């Protein structure tokens, strides 16, 4: 059993949990993920690691269906049955030069550990964080500390710059040489943002597809990469953006919307 050390609501339906998991915390690296199961009847939920120290793992999640709603109702000192990880391959962290990290909505959270580690590796780090409105902005101070420059954009212009992450990224690449771009958000957000750079600047996206076991046995998380079937859990979760069949990914990720509605929730997109 894994204890919830702290719980925060970061915005509408966005929650931050700090979980006591020392064995996982000691090995966790930026870009990896864990799988959560609340109880014996619970669904397995894959979540990218948003932060860690010597004894705890921080996760940030959006309520998108029945299982994440149940998770959001847990309180501090409650326990979770399964907390498995770290899973997936860690991000490639080295001194590339200037690295731009782009996060959309709750995808901003897993951007943080990469920004932190890229900066430690000697890179100039520019972070772009996109939200629908001011009320959904979170982790601004953490991102500032981990970045040389932080650009916040909101769809409605209620905070930071008005526009989308793609608008901010376009401005950055027009004014300076960028050596690498990392994008994390909804598949739709990643698809359109990556179109700006994938043919000119190495661009990496993190694929959070439908998963079950997280170790490559079930095949539920399969994605098409350069026309070949790969598994996001063991071959990823990060891939070169230009190699990803985003249209197929979007279709697969929305395959169970009717089932979600039947259990009393409507689907929400993570951006």
163-178: per-residue pLDDT in tens?
A: 999 999 999 999 999 9
What pTM does this model have? 0.89
Confidence of residue 270 (pLDDT cuts 50, 70, 90): very low
φ and ψ at 132, to 5 degrees?
-70, -40
Predicted confidence (pLDDT) per residue in 213-222, tens digit:
777 788 878 8
Say whether pLDDT at 269 is over 50: no
- Residue 271: the pLDDT is 33
Confidence of residue 65 (pLDDT cuts 50, 70, 90): confident
Considering the chain, what is the average pLDDT of its residues?
Answer: 90
Given a contact cutoff of 8 angstroms between Cβ atoms, the answer to whether 170 and 201 are in contact is no
Place of tokens 């739709």: 188
Dihedral over Cα of 249, 131, 193, 200: its sign: negative
Domains and CATH numbers, the chain: 2-87 (2.40.30.10), 98-253 (3.40.50.80)
DSSP bridge pairs for 102: 128, 183
- Residue 42: the pLDDT is 85
> What percent of the chain has pLDDT above 70?
93
Closest CA to 149 of 82, 201, 98: 98
What's the mean pLDDT in 51-59?
96
């Amino acid at each position: 059993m894994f204890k919830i050390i702290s719980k925060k609501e970061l915005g509408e339906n966005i929650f931050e949990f700090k979980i006591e998991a020392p064995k996982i915390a000691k090995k966790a690296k930026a870009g990896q993920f864990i799988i959560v199961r609340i109880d014996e009847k619970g669904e397995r939920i894959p979540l990218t690691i948003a932060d860690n120290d010597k004894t705890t793992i921080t996760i940030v999640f959006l309520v998108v269906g029945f299982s994440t709603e149940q998770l959001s109702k847990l309180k501090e000192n409650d326990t979770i049955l399964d907390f498995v990880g770290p899973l997936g391959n860690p991000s490639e962290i080295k001194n590339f030069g200037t690295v731009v990290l782009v996060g959309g909505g709750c995808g901003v959270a897993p951007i943080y550990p990469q920004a932190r580690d890229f900066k430690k590796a000697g890179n100039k780090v520019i972070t772009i964080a996109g939200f629908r409105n001011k009320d959904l902005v979170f982790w601004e101070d953490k991102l500032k500390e981990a970045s040389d420059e932080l650009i916040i954009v909101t769809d409605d212009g209620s905070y930071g710059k008005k526009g989308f992450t793609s608008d901010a990224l376009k401005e950055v690449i027009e004014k300076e040489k960028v050596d690498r771009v990392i994008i994390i958000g909804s598949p739709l957000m990643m698809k359109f943002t990556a179109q700006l750079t994938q043919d000119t600047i190495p661009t990496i996206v993190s694929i959070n597809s439908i998963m079950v076991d997280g170790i490559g046995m079930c095949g539920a998380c399969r994605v098409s990469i350069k026309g070949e079937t790969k598994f996001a859990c063991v071959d990823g979760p990060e891939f070169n953006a230009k190699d990803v069949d985003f249209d197929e990914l979007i279709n697969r990720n929305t395959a169970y919307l009717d089932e979600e509605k039947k259990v009393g929730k409507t689907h929400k997109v993570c951006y």
